[in-house]
Structure 1
């Protein structure tokens, strides 16, 4: 196994072009575990640790641009106001040591259906900035996941950054696991209200071959909120609306039975989480919380 250690982004892209099968490493929280257990033995490892701008984020107005190696700890400490859903999910990732090393870029590269950052990225509306020696392209996050642990990157591409739309309303995240800490999600659900556009977005993790949005549930809830005049009045969401939203969210799932939970349990849990996150988010909206805030 050869270890490649570029000193600049240009060198990293050149190395990836020369060795398309090279596996990029930043935090190493997924890749090194696979190597240590002999589940993967790549010919080349591409260490991105010396490329400084991957570890930075920028406020771009409507979006926050997260470098691929910005660790979860910084998202929690510095970006909880503009990216509340992602910050909530980041708090559930592994141990403090993992949160200090792991990153959204690594989560995207692994493309596991159970990745904690995927549901809030889907709910917030994010784009993946993929780069190669051929240029840069933006991939909507819902188009990035192509299968179990597969993504839309070309062999010569690397994730350089993730552009996440700033919150204009409350966002929530919920996760079910087999214990309270350091756990892989049995399933997860994220919800974001976008009052400026009168829309709702969701994200579901570990309940289908890829992370998915519950589009029918989103459309139903947005229409119900508009028809009832709830965006303007801030009145409580009717129980029948919350129940239908939960059922449609569960219907978006295509889960499997595995050692962490059954398909039936995952569908039930997603329905419960959908109702709970809607309740939490709507109460925050009624109190005027969760609106867009400046970056730290």
Structure 2
């Protein structure tokens, strides 16, 4: 196994172009596990640890451009206001040691349906900045996941950053696992309210071959909030609405039975998570009017 260690971003792109099968490594929290257990033995490892721009973020304007290797610890500490859903997901990632190294780029590159960042990225409407020596393109998050642990990156492309609109409303994330830390999610759910466009987005993890959105649930909730005047009145949501939303989220899943849980349990748990997170986000939205805060 050859170890490639470029000192700059152009060098990294050149190395990836010359060796398209080279496996990028930044935090190493996924790749090194696979190598240590002999699940993967690539001919080349492409170490991106010296590329400082991958560990930087920029929040100018209404968008956050998040470097692929910004560790979860910094996302939690520095971006909880602008990207609350992703920060909440970051809090659940493994242990403090892994949160100090792992970043969103690794989750995207691995494209495991159980990756903790995926539901928040879907709910937030992220775009993935994919770069090669041929140029840069933005991949909408909805088009990024193409199969089980497969993504839309070309062989010569690297993830440089993720772009997310700053939150205009409350966001939530929750997952079910066998314990509170160091656990792969049995299922996970993210939701974001977008009051500026009177919209709702969701993300489901570990309950389908790829991370997915519950689009029917989103459309139902957006219509109910608009038709019922809930956006303006900010009153409590009817229990029947919460139940129907939860059922649509559970119905969007396509889970399997495995060692972490049965398909039936995953569907049930997703419904519970959907109802709870919608309740939490709506209470936050109502509270913003009742008790406004000052920057």
Q: TM-score, normalised by structure 1?
A: 0.97
Higher RCO (CA < 8 A, seq sep 6+)? 1
Offset at residue 101 of structure 1 (A): 0.3
Rounded to whole Å, the distance in 2 between the matches of 1:65 and 1:281 is 24
Classify the secondary structure of the residue corresponding to 2:196: coil
Corresponding residue for residue 37 of structure 1: 37
Where do 1:106-117 residues align within 5 Å? 106-117=106-117
Q: Aligned-pair RMSD on alpha carbons?
A: 1.4
State the partner residue of 1:226.
226
| Aligned counterpart, 1:215 | 215
Q: Cα distance, 1:60 vs. partner? A: 3.3
Aligned to 1:11: 11
CA distance in 2, matches of 1:241, 1:61: 35
1:248 is matched with which residue? 248
Counterpart of 1:102 in structure 2 is 102
Instruction: Tell me the equivalent position of 2:134.
Output: 134
Asked whether the 8 Å contact 1:82–1:293 carries over to 2, the reply is no
Instruction: Give 1:33-112 correspondences, 5 Å limit.
Output: 33-112=33-112
CA deviation vs aligned residue, 1:45-92 (integer Å, no higher than 9, x gap): 000000110000001322100001000000000000000000000000
Could you list the per-position Cα deviations for residues 22-64 of structure 1 after superposition, in whole angstroms to 9, with x for gaps in the alignment? 0000000000111111110000000000011000000132210
Asked if the contact 1:125–1:165 (Cα under 8 Å) also holds between the matched residues in 2, the reply is yes
The residue number in structure 2 matching 1:151 is 151
Indicate conservation of the 8 Å contact 1:4/1:45, yes or no.
Answer: yes
Segments of 4+ moved more than 2 angstroms: 289-294
Q: Give, in angstroms, the shift of residue 165 of structure 1.
A: 1.3
Give 1:293 deviation, angstroms.
Answer: 9.7
Unaligned stretches of 5+ in structure 2? none
How far, CA to CA, are the matches of 2:95 and 2:207 in structure 1? 23
